[in-house]
Amino acid sequence: RIWMAGSRHVQGICDVLAATMKRDHGLDVDPLTDFAICCGQSEAFAAAIFAVIDPGDEVLLFDPAYETYQTCIELARGVPVYVPLDPPSWTLHADKFLKSFTRRTKAVILNSPHNPTGKVFSRAELLIISQACQQMDCFAITDEVYEYITYDENKHISLASLPGMQERTIITSSLSKTYSVTGGLLSCIAVQSYSFLC
């Protein structure tokens, strides 16, 4: 079940989420219209996929990938297209990524910090992704559940915060990892004319 942001039961949560998006990512979002509260990140992610993907649409995802992504894409009758990350640092190879796009590409899935590798995509890598999404006119669906769990000097940057990306990015996130409530009951989708899912 998805509770919409206008519901009186979740409005306080949406107000806090909007303030957090502004503070942490510089994003201006409307707490009344830009969020959907879900029962978990997997449900939020599935909702994003089902909202955007039509049968036969291709969805790029980075390999290795969290296993739920492929299942959701296939349930929506989309076609998962894997783009390998280069070990041992799991870097994005720009040429491989750009050659993966076709006229059927509808979305790119980005999980950063990445599960299962722990990789935090760099600003340079995110710029490659954002420029490709804009040039190919496709969506980005992000899984940012680990955004506050980074190590060393790595800092999470939301893809939606880059120029031209807020209007084409759906962010999914969750309280579960940051607040140690896995299997928890609250995740959200931030959607600004598609923009966010948490």
pLDDT digits (tens, 9 = 90+) for 5-37: 445 556 677 888 888 888 888 889 888 888 877
Least confident of 34-43, 91-100, 126-135, 176-185: 176-185
E-strand spans in 75-178? 79-84, 105-111, 139-143, 169-174
| pLDDT for residue 32 | 82
Report the distance separating Cα 135 and Cα 150, nearest Å: 30
Global pTM reads 0.85
Write down how long the chain is.
Answer: 198
Least confident of 43-47, 153-157, 184-188: 184-188
- Asked whether residue 130 carries a pLDDT value surpassing 80, the answer given is yes
| pLDDT for residue 22 | 87
| pLDDT for residue 178 | 63
Local confidence band at 119 (pLDDT 50, 70, 90 cut-offs): very high
Of 177, 169, 172, the C-alpha closest to 146 is 177
Domain 11-192 in this protein, CATH class: alpha beta
Report the distance separating Cα 141 and Cα 184, nearest Å: 21
As given in the structure block, the two tokens for residue 51 are 């909202």
Report the distance separating Cα 60 and Cα 193, nearest Å: 21
| pLDDT for residue 73 | 98
How remote is the C-alpha of 117 from its chain's centroid?
A: 16
Report the distance separating Cα 96 and Cα 26, nearest Å: 31
Q: Higher-confidence residue: 134 or 42?
A: 134
As given in the structure block, the two tokens for residue 191 are 């959607």
Contact call for residues 183 and 176 (beta carbons, < 8 A): yes
Report the distance separating Cα 140 and Cα 72, nearest Å: 15
Report the distance separating Cα 84 and Cα 14, nearest Å: 36
| pLDDT for residue 170 | 94
Mean pLDDT to the nearest integer, 189-194: 46
* Alpha carbon distances (Å) from 102 to 45, 55, 99, 164: 23, 15, 8, 21
Q: Domain ranges for the chain, please list them.
A: 11-192
Report the distance separating Cα 190 and Cα 36, nearest Å: 6
Mean pLDDT to the nearest integer, 169-173: 90
